[in-house]
Structure 1
Amino acid sequence: MNWKSYVFPGGHPPAALTTGLVVFLTAVFLLSFVFALGDDLSLAPESLFKLQMSRLSLYPLIHLSLPHLLFNVLAIWAPLNLFEETHGTVYTGVFLNLSALFAGILYCLLGKLLYPGVFVAGASGWCFTLFAYYSYKESQVRPRTRLFHTEYSVPTLYTPIALLIAIAVIVPGSSFWGHFFGLCVGYAIGYKESWFHKITPPGWIITKIENSLDGLIRLIPWGIRYYRDTDIDRTKSYEPLLATDTPLPLHNDNSGTVLGTA
């Protein structure tokens, strides 16, 4: 994958929410040098039991270092752009909010028993949620994925788990459980997305919100695309990320599409 295809996933302009989120994450990081945002918004297991809702929903916005921020921004850019393009801008915002909440609740429940004093922060949970979501969807049409230019392939469904383990080994200070529960939420949404739709605002409400904010939406700079809910068909079948005529077979027979070339 070249940089152009990464910055413009699918050859389309950057999506509005994704672009805005990257800018906002950067702004929050800079503000954290002035205000103690990390202390105020990082998530601890006790946050759930103290009903600290701001921590439960806003902890992904906090980053503890510049490498932490840069890694998460680079990791989330392409999958979130693709998700926003196929689900709509407002819906994507709801998705981010609910997925952070669900992962945060799971983190707190287990943390009360295993790691009561460990805080978590950062958008990496969102990254793993998106990785798991797309790995599940992709696995339905491509059970195995070729490893770059080698003859080896791995089960598509489990690629985010391999990444989870690799990061835990390479970066031992990272939040394994935060990543793990983000992964669980992504798999769950991918498996039963129709259930997830039932707890999100219906389309007519989103459309009404967009109509009331039409003036502001029109102020979005040229080159950044806002995806209106009326333009989105979430009933469409999943389209694989790597275009191919036939899915990679269950057993390696030296055929298929090389990961990173499509």
Structure 2
Amino acid sequence: MKKTALITGATSGIGEATAYEFAKQGINLVLCGRRLERLNTIQKALERLTDVYILNFDVRNKKEAFKAIESLPDKFKNIDILINNAGNAHGLDPINEGSIDDWDAMMDINVKGLLYVSKAIIPQMTDQKSGHIINIGSSAGKEVYPKGNVYCASKHAVLAITEGMRIDLNPYGIKVGAINPGLVETEFSQVRFKGDKMADSVYKGFKALQAKDIAEVIYFVVSRPAHVNIADVLMFCTAQANSTLVKKSL
């Protein structure tokens, strides 16, 4: 029987690439995001490969998140795979100059949004005693870097939540893991630098990871045999050694 995956933040970057990868593999999709037009476009593109349902909501809105997931039609109600991908970074300021609005946005989406969506879906996984949850973390969840403060804190929280989920859901046979990418060339930097031209320089002089690279690893993880759970993956492009060291050509 075909599996169904729910992906948050599916309108761009890693979420969109994962939707394409899963569709190619015949997995039914529930795609979630804030940009309805983008969701519609992706749905049209992927419907020739698999069944696709879209949910238009913001993960940081608790009521909206629960209402959207409760509204799923019977055909899409049983979620076998949850990809908690929605996330963001706002600003790159030392803590003493940081914006509280930026802090709220990162904690609300990266941490609370992940918890809301998980809370809405986990009960049916525990009922059926199966399921697979993958939380998209970051190398920033492994290592704090200058001016990363609250973003790094939010991604450290994602890893702690992932470990806690794996422990608490173990009796139910539910797999839980995290994928932690380093530099990935997506809209991420446009959001972080709020459209500033500085965003264009982030990926210059080296070949960063592409969203498709992460999507292929996510599919690899979900396609392992029932007795195998890949609990944690840290991914860098070849040019990146850690959060601060990147080999760039001049």
Larger RCO: Structure 1 or Structure 2 (Cα < 8 Å, ≥ 6 residues apart)? 1
| TM surpasses 0.5 | no
Whichever of the two has the greater Rg, that structure is: 1
- Give the alignment's TM-score, normalised by structure 2: 0.24
- Greater helix percent: which structure? 1
TM-score normalised according to structure 1 size = 0.23
